[in-house]
Amino acid sequence: MEHKKAVDVLLEERRRQLTFDKQCEVDECAQAEHLHLMRKQIIEEEHIKLLRGHAHRLLGYLLEGVIRDEEDLDYLGNDFKNEF
């Protein structure tokens, strides 16, 4: 009888530990996703800042892919759009 109680206690502790581990894993994934989104946002802001500050002087020298879409062209103005 005492052995059965000890086994039940061990099983319950194991279940709690598994639940705790699973929750930690979910929290870590959520935190990693949050950091990924923050980095992506910062990179996008810096991309826009660089385009606004320097791209107009580099017309003709920009590599393919620096200007990704029409939105990037909007940051540079009509003169740049006409040349590009």
Task: Measure the N-to-C terminal CA separation of the chain; round to a whole number of Å.
Answer: 84
Amino acid making up residue 36: H
Give the pLDDT confidence score for residue 47 in this predicted structure.
86
| pLDDT, tens only, 37-59 | 999 999 989 988 888 887 777 77
Residue corresponding to tokens 């940051």: 75
Amino acid making up residue 30: A
Q: Region 59-82: what's the mean pLDDT?
A: 74
Residue corresponding to tokens 């540079």: 76
This prediction's pTM? 0.62
Distance CA 65, CA 72 (A): 11
Q: Region 56-80: what's the mean pLDDT?
A: 74
